[in-house]
Amino acid sequence: MKILSLMFLFSFNSWSQDVSLLNQQPVLSQMTGNCYTHSGTDMMTGAYLRNKRVESTIQPHPILLGGLVSADSGRGNISSGLTCDFFNAAKKINKPVCSVQAFNYYVSKSGATTKKVRDNINSLDRAMQNLHKLFQKNNWSRADKESALKAADTIIGSTCKLQRVANLDDRRFVELVDDAREIINRLSPRRSLLGGLKEDLIDMFTVGVGPYTFRRIEESYKLSKERKVAMNDMLEEIYTTMNDQCVAYARKNKLSVVPSDFLAYSKPYTCHNEIYKKPRIKNPKLKETLDFIDRQVRVGYPTGIYLCSAVFYGKGPKVGDYRDSKGECVNGGGHAVTVTGIVYRNGKRFFKIRNSWGTGACHTLAAGKKACLAKKQSGCPSDNAITCEDGVYYMSDDYLGLGLWGHARLTVMKKK
* Residue 334 CB contacts under 8 Å (≥ 6 apart), including other chains: 306, 307, 308, 309, 405
**Which pLDDT score, from 0 to 100, does residue 147 have?**
84
**Which pLDDT score, from 0 to 100, does residue 284 have?**
92
Q: Which of 231, 252, 273 is the last residue of a domain?
A: 252
User: Is the confidence at residue 392, as pLDDT, over 60?
Assistant: yes
Of the candidates 34, 20, 22, 104, the one whose C-alpha atom is nearest the C-alpha of residue 63 is 34
User: Is the confidence at residue 219, as pLDDT, over 50?
Assistant: no
What average pLDDT is seen over the chain? 80
47-62: average pLDDT:
94
Same domain? For 344 and 397 the reply is: yes
* CB 243, CB 294: distance < 8 Å: no
Is 74 contained in some domain?
Answer: no
**Which pLDDT score, from 0 to 100, does residue 158 have?**
78
Is 359 contained in some domain?
Answer: yes
Output the CA–CA distances (angstroms, integers) from residue 270 to 92, 100, 184, 280, 303, in the order listed.
12, 25, 46, 25, 13
Same domain? For 136 and 225 the reply is: yes
- Total number of domains constituting the chain: 2
User: Is the confidence at residue 394, as pLDDT, over 50?
Assistant: yes
Q: pLDDT-derived band of residue 10, with 50, 70 and 90 as boundaries?
A: very low
Q: Which of 2-6, 35-39, 167-171, 341-345 has the highest mean pLDDT?
A: 341-345
Alpha-carbon distance of 136 to 153, in angstroms, equals 20
Q: Which domain holds residue 290?
A: 2-10+17-61+83-90+261-414
Alpha-carbon distance of 289 to 264, in angstroms, equals 29
- pLDDT tens across 27-46, in order? 877 655 578 999 999 999 99
User: Is the confidence at residue 115, as pLDDT, over 80?
Assistant: no
Q: What is the CA radius of gyration of the chain?
A: 24
Question: Of 142 and 71, which is predicted with more confidence?
Answer: 142
- pLDDT tens across 359-386, in order? 888 999 999 999 999 988 888 999 999 9
Q: pLDDT-derived band of residue 171, with 50, 70 and 90 as boundaries?
A: low
Count of positions (residues) in the chain: 416
- DSSP three-state, residue 322: coil
Q: pLDDT-derived band of residue 6, with 50, 70 and 90 as boundaries?
A: low
Question: Of 84 and 230, which is predicted with more confidence?
Answer: 84
User: Is the confidence at residue 55, as pLDDT, over 90?
Assistant: yes
User: Is the confidence at residue 4, as pLDDT, over 70?
Assistant: no
Same domain? For 277 and 402 the reply is: yes
**Which pLDDT score, from 0 to 100, does residue 206 have?**
38
**CB neighbours of residue 196 within 10 Å:** 10
Same domain? For 330 and 230 the reply is: no
Same domain? For 179 and 305 the reply is: no
* Residue 208 CB contacts under 8 Å (≥ 6 apart), including other chains: 139
**Which pLDDT score, from 0 to 100, does residue 153 have?**
82
160-174, 186-200, 315-329: which range is least confident on average?
Answer: 186-200
Same domain? For 134 and 243 the reply is: yes
Same domain? For 267 and 372 the reply is: yes
User: Is the confidence at residue 197, as pLDDT, over 60?
Assistant: no
Same domain? For 246 and 275 the reply is: no
Q: Which of 206, 225, 252 is the last residue of a domain?
A: 252
**Which pLDDT score, from 0 to 100, does residue 99 have?**
94
Q: pLDDT-derived band of residue 416, with 50, 70 and 90 as boundaries?
A: low
Question: Of 6 and 83, which is predicted with more confidence?
Answer: 83
Same domain? For 142 and 234 the reply is: yes
User: Is the confidence at residue 132, as pLDDT, over 80?
Assistant: no
- pLDDT tens across 303-330, in order? 999 999 999 999 888 888 888 888 889 8
**Which pLDDT score, from 0 to 100, does residue 59 have?**
94
* CB 312, CB 365: distance < 8 Å: yes
For residue 328, with 0-12 CB atoms within 10 Å meaning exposed, 13-18 middle and 19 or more buried, which class applies?
A: middle
User: Is the confidence at residue 130, as pLDDT, over 70?
Assistant: yes
Same domain? For 157 and 227 the reply is: yes
Same domain? For 187 and 292 the reply is: no
